[in-house]
Amino acid sequence: MKFTINQREMIYALNILTRAISTKTTMEILKGIFIEAKANHLTMKTNDLSMSIIIEIPALVEEEGVTVIESYLFNDIIRKLPDDAITIEKKTDHISLICSQSKYKLLMMDDETFPKVPEQTDGVEIVINQSVFSNMIKMTNFAVSRDETRAILTGSLLEVKNNVMKMVSIDGYNIAIKKVVLQDAPDASVIVPGRTLNEIQKIIGYNVDDEISLVIGSNYITFEFDNVKIISKVLEGEYIKYEQVIESEFGIEVDVDNREFYDAIDRAALMANKSRSYIVIFDFEKDQVTISSQSEIGQAKEEVEINNTGKNIRIGFNPNYLMKALRVIEDEELVLRMTSPVRPCFIQPKNNDSYEYYLVPIRINQ
């Protein structure tokens, strides 16, 4: 195997491929990047056993073949090389890399032991704009559970029904739901690992107008865009029946400016986090919410103008959860709906019902 490729092309590929390199694995081969040189292109693969990434890039192939290179050092070297042609050749016991006045010999890993990328045998296809999909992930992924004991919640529900695609994340304290309308999309339902979605969001970026294809099968989901293909396992089991905890009738409805509300919580959180209580108390009155917190070294009190069409309520929240949700909502105005200090608070952009966020309050002494 021998090929020549530009340093920039290789950096582009590595930026994407390294997202399926696990830093914690004890299986050395999973730290490798599989490279196949064929005709006028390379097919490069990484695989962390939960997710595989395959990327095709053009290259000047002098001799076809396959190899696996340890990714960490390879990645570091490529990044520091000049923007020039790199020639990589498989020798009997090592990989040779030459770029300008730089010559490297690198460990060759056993390509026979590189785990096979799974074959997805079933599925329905949905095509969606990359930035729309990226935004769905951004608005829900922060609420994915990190608790491996309830594995199903470490994934997000991705559901298509009657041409509406819904992404739902739940971690026991909060629920985030984002909906988009599709055209002529088949119904489907799958639970995608939160980590897969997180990595995909980083790869496709936020401002890309191209489309991404999702093929949703019973065991795998495949994402395909540009020259990249990502195949991820899906989580097996039934997703939590979250509709049961969501109420549709709220006695209290509050309009508030997102930025002002966020900034006030951000400051009050300093005090709440200092005491490690992580409780901020909200006193919603008619025209004003008072946000307060305390620690052994002080007290914070913030006031923000609101418009409350219901009765007054005193309710406590973990400010750090609340801020995560407010950060992903780009709309200026918010609506908060509440029932009682022990029932979830529902938050939505004022003029946009495609996003729903529910936060469970913290019980406080009245």
* Residue 347 neighbours by CB under 8 Å, 6+ apart: 325, 326, 329, 334, 335, 336, 337, 356, 357, 358, 359
| String of contacts with a copy of itself for each residue 123-162, x by CB under 8 A | ----------------------------------------
Q: What would you report as the CA-atom Rg of the chain, rounded to the nearest whole angstrom?
A: 25
Q: Which H or E run includes 319?
A: helix 319-328
10 is an interface residue for a copy of itself by CB under 8 A: no
Stretch that binds a copy of itself, among 42-50, 69-77, 130-138, 156-164 (CB under 8 A): 69-77
Rounded Cα–Cα distance for residues 138 and 134 (Å): 6
Residue 94 touching a copy of itself (CB under 8 A): yes
Looking at beta carbons only, is 227 or 295 nearer to a copy of itself? 295
Q: To the nearest whole angstrom, how small is the minimum distance from the Cβ of residue 247 to a copy of itself? A: 31
In whole angstroms, the minimum distance from the beta carbon of 295 to a copy of itself comes to 8
Q: Based on the shown chain and the rule CB under 8 A, indicate whether residue 104 belongs to the binding site for a copy of itself.
A: yes
- What residues contact residue 151 under an 8 Å CB cut-off, 6+ apart? 235, 237
Report whether 25 contacts 56 (CB < 8 A): no
Q: Do the beta carbons of residue 189 and residue 157 sit within 8 Å? A: yes
* Residue 82 in contact with a copy of itself, rule: CB under 8 A: yes
Query: Taking the complex as a whole, how short is the minimal distance between the CB of residue 72 and a copy of itself, in angstroms?
Result: 8
Q: Is residue 289 a contact partner of residue 267, using CB atoms and an 8 Å limit?
A: no
Per CB under 8 A, the segment of 54-62, 227-235, 292-300, 310-318 that binds a copy of itself is 292-300
Q: Is residue 76 involved in binding a copy of itself (CB under 8 A)?
A: yes
Residue number, 111 or 302, with CB nearest to a copy of itself: 302
Tallying the residues shown for the chain, one arrives at 366
Per-residue b or e along 111-132, where b marks 16 or more CB atoms closer than 10 Å to that residue's CB:
beebeeeeebeebeebbbebbe
Q: Does 107 bind a copy of itself (CB under 8 A)?
A: yes
Query: Is residue 103 part of the contact set for a copy of itself (CB under 8 A)?
Result: yes
Tell me which stretch binds a copy of itself (CB under 8 A): 7-15, 72-80, 118-126, 190-198.
72-80
Q: Residues 301, 314, 324, 343: which binds a copy of itself (CB under 8 A)? A: 301
Q: CA-CA distance, 329 to 345, in Å (whole number)?
A: 16
- 14 close to 32: Cβ distance less than 8 angstroms: no
What is residue 201's three-state secondary structure?
helix
105 in contact with a copy of itself (CB under 8 A): yes
- Which CB, 42 or 108, lies closer to a copy of itself? 108
Ranges assigned E (strand) in 199-239 = 211-216, 220-225, 228-233
Q: Does 73 bind a copy of itself (CB under 8 A)?
A: yes
Q: Does 274 bind a copy of itself (CB under 8 A)?
A: yes
CA atoms within 13 A on the CB side of 161: 8
8 Å CB contact between 171 and 147: yes
Binding to a copy of itself by residue 168, rule CB under 8 A? no
- Contact set for a copy of itself, span 231-270 (CB under 8 A): 263-264, 266-267, 270
Stretch that binds a copy of itself, among 12-20, 95-103, 122-130, 187-195 (CB under 8 A): 95-103
Could you say which of 36, 48, 70, 159 contacts a copy of itself (CB under 8 A)?
A: 70
Applying CB under 8 A, the residues found at the interface with a copy of itself are 70, 73, 76-77, 80-82, 94, 101-107, 263-264, 266-267, 270-271, 274, 295-304
